[in-house]
Every structure is written in C-alpha cells, then in structure tokens.
C-alpha cells in the first residue's frame, strides 16, 4: 500500500499547549486564535533554520469552527503568527479526529510530492464555543429513518449504548478512569510532558472599581489542568450517571470538556536537507472507518486494523498508543473487542501518561495534541512505532501511525 507515495513525510517539530478546563479553567477567557498563534510560533521556533515563508499551507482541525474559532481560523492565525501573506490556511472538521486528519492531509501533500513544508494542527475552545455549536440545527431527514437517528444522539448516550452492548461494567469504567488520573499525575511529577509542552502566558484582567482602571495579572501555565491527585475509585463510585437514569457513564469516567491547541511541522526529505533539519518522526499510515452513529465509540475497532495493515505492522509492533478516552466505556470496549480478534494492545503501552479522562479532550485539537505526545513519548522511551486513534462523533474511527527517528 505504501508504495503509492512518491516520498516520505517527516515531522520536524511537534508541540502543544497545556490543556485547560472549559468554562472555569486557564483558558476560559483566551481566544482560540491566540492559542493557535502561540502553537504555530512555537512549532516554527523548534525547527531552527526553517523560514515561515517556506510553509506552503496550514491545515488546522476544529470541531466547531464558528464564533471565535470561525472565519477560517487556520488562515487568520497564520497571518497573526507573523508568517506573512504567502502561507495558506484551511480549517477542517472531522470532530474528535480533526487534529489527526490535519496531520494526515498535510503529510499526504508531501507524500505525493505537491509540497515540501506543511503545518498541521488543531484548536478548540470549548469555553467559548459550546458542544454542538452556538446554533445546533439537525436536518429533519435524520428522524425519518430509525437507522439515522443516532446522528442526533448526545455523545454520552452513545457511550451508554456501547457499555450495554459490550457489557462494560460501572466498576471497570471507574477503575479505568482512576488509572488515567494516576498515570497522568505520575507523568507530570516525572516531567514527562516537558518535551511536548509549550508554556502559555495567560493574562487575567479585572476591573478596579475604586478608580475605574483595569488590573492585569499574568501567569504562566505549563501543565494540563484536569488531572486530579485526589481521585479515588471510591470517589468515582459515588458519582451519579449523567446520560441515562440507570446508566453507568458518569462525569468521572468520561473525558473532560477542555480548551487547547497543538501543532506539527511536516517536511519532505528535500526540505530536511535544504534547511538542515532533524526529523523527530516519520508519518507512516492513516485509516478512517465509519460505524453506526449510535455506537460511535467503537470506531477505533475498525480503524486500528486498517492503519496497521496499511503500515505492514502488527499490534505488537506498537510501542506507544494514544487511544483517546472519550469515555471509559468505549475505550474498554475497543480494547476488549480487539483482544477477542487477536489484535492485542499492550495495556501498559496504551495511554502511558494518562488519557482524556484525566488530561482533557479539546475536541478538534486532540489529534494534533496526542500526535505530539506519541512522538515525544516514543523518543523518550526509545520505542519505534506509535499510534494515535480515536472515535468520532456521528460514527467514525480514525488511526494514524508514526515512526520515531
């Protein structure tokens, strides 16, 4: 399969911002275009010798590209980043897989020989743009056929359906969620996120009512905000289900709503030589598959084998797997189902630094953020192949594979 490409695509920088809690966290008043600008500038700074003018296009994933993250945020941010008018920009949407799809599309432009330098990223402010957008509007046609109604389901309800169909117990979901927090806290204490992280200066402005002036305070944020050292299985067990009265999916065993951004610079071999760049990783393969919308969480069950086949690899070749934890129910269903098919993912290598339940899930940004995580994680642990995979709203699964260099 891989012989169809003209040349390889190499990642020369991969970085991300800390992830903030939506609505009340670090970035609640930070515009998404400002987050993306910071990531763009940081990614370029990490590739010394590369000029912004060499970048052909910026492809940026965003799940709800409207309001503060509308108006083709990719193009707006590339201009605001100081990259000049000559760099293109396009915003793409595959919901939770928007960020990894941006990486795949940028890599593909290079792999077919159409470009030498590309930026791929993702951004999402769930503080500023609510889930579903500011004006959700579903086609009446969705409700005319029973098999299409799943498109209109809330994500939590799809997780309940997966939990029921794949027989994932509440206890197993809570244990999975606890482990996500435990690993995340341990990784932070060990400094494992440092290589992938770009600190961000958050400016807080408050009015001084006495004299009418504005007080400004700046703080630098360097770590994801969602991981909780005090999480316990007992505490998680006390939480009530949020999506179904007799359900098992709670706020504690679901991903957190978040704000964040991530980005990568991807180049050809010619560009590596021309600008004397050091590659961090090679883009290996990508696959996307559709599944019934009402059980969208199982998407990776279909996408993972396809991406492995495309790469000519086995599950046992993967040294690091970032499996996005939309819900503990769907993550466990994916892992158990693949096990039953002989595609066994080593649990120690799945989200070694915790996942979205602890770290957060800024929808369209997650794929780019986790691509940075997998590349730096592979390099630190001296592993070769890694994967980023996730389920996608409305019934899809996506998976991308990288080779650390």
Contact 403, 215 (CB under 8 A): no
Q: Which one from 62, 181, 361, 376 is the annotated catalytic residue?
A: 361
Residue 275: DSSP 8-state? T
Query: Which CA distances in Å does 131 have to 16, 65, 155, 163, 262?
Result: 22, 11, 10, 22, 20
- CB burial of 57-71 (b: ≥16 within 10 Å; e: otherwise) equals bbbbbbbbbebebbe
Determine which one of 62, 181, 376, 391 is catalytic. Answer: 391
Distance between CA atoms of residues 345 and 398, nearest Å: 16
Pairing between strand 117-125 and 214-221? unpaired
Residues 6+ apart with CB under 8 A from 332: 166, 168, 172, 173, 176
96 is catalytic: yes
Segment (H or E) for 106: helix 98-111
Cβ(216)–Cβ(204) below 8 Å: yes
Active-site residue (options: 62, 96, 181, 376):
96
- Asked if 391 is an active-site residue, the reply is yes
**Residue 70 falls in which region: left (phi positive, over 0), alpha (psi -120 to 50) or beta:** beta
User: Which residues have a catalytic role annotated?
Assistant: 96, 361, 391
């Amino acid at each position: 399969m891989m012989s169809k490409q003209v040349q390889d695509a190499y990642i020369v920088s991969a970085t991300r911002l800390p992830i903030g809690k939506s609505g009340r966290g670090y970035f609640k008043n930070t515009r998404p275009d400002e987050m993306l600008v910071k990531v763009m500038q940081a990614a370029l700074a990490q590739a010394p010798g590369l000029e912004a003018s060499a970048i052909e296009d910026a492809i940026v994933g965003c799940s709800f590209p409207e309001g503060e993250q509308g108006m083709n945020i990719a193009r707006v941010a590339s201009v605001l980043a100081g990259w000049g008018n000559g760099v293109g920009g396009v915003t793409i949407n595959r919901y939770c897989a928007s960020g990894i799809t941006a990486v795949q599309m940028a890599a593909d432009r290079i792999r077919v020989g159409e470009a030498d330098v590309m930026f791929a990223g993702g951004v999402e402010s769930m503080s500023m743009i609510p889930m579903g957008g500011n004006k959700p509007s579903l086609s009446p046609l969705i409700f005319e056929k029973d098999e299409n109604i799943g498109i209109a389901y809330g994500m939590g309800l799809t997780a309940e359906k997966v939990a029921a169909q794949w027989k994932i117990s509440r206890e197993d979901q809570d244990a999975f969620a606890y482990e996500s927090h435990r690993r995340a806290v341990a990784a932070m204490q060990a400094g494992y996120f440092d290589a992938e992280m770009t600190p961000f200066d958050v400016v807080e402005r408050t009015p001084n009512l006495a004299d009418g002036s504005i007080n400004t305070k700046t703080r630098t944020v360097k770590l994801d905000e969602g991981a909780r050292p005090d999480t316990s299985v007992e505490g998680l067990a006390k939480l009530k289900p949020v999506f179904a009265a007799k359900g098992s999916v709670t706020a504690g065993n679901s991903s957190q709503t978040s704000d964040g951004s991530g980005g990568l610079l991807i180049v050809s071999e010619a560009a590596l030589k021309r600008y004397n760049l050091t590659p961090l990783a090679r883009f290996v393969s990508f696959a996307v598959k559709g599944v019934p919308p009402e059980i969208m969480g199982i998407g990776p069950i279909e996408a993972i084998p396809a991406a492995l086949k495309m790469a000519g690899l086995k599950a046992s070749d993967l040294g690091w797997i970032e499996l996005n934890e939309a819900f503990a129910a769907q993550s466990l269903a994916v892992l158990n189902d693949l096990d039953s098919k002989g595609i066994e993912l080593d649990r120690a290598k799945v989200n070694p630094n915790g996942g979205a339940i602890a770290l957060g899930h800024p929808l369209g940004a997650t794929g780019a953020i986790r691509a940075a995580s997998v590349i730096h994680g592979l390099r630190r642990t001296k592993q070769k192949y890694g994967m980023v995979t996730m389920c996608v709203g409305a019934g899809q699964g996506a998976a991308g594979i990288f080779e650390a260099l």
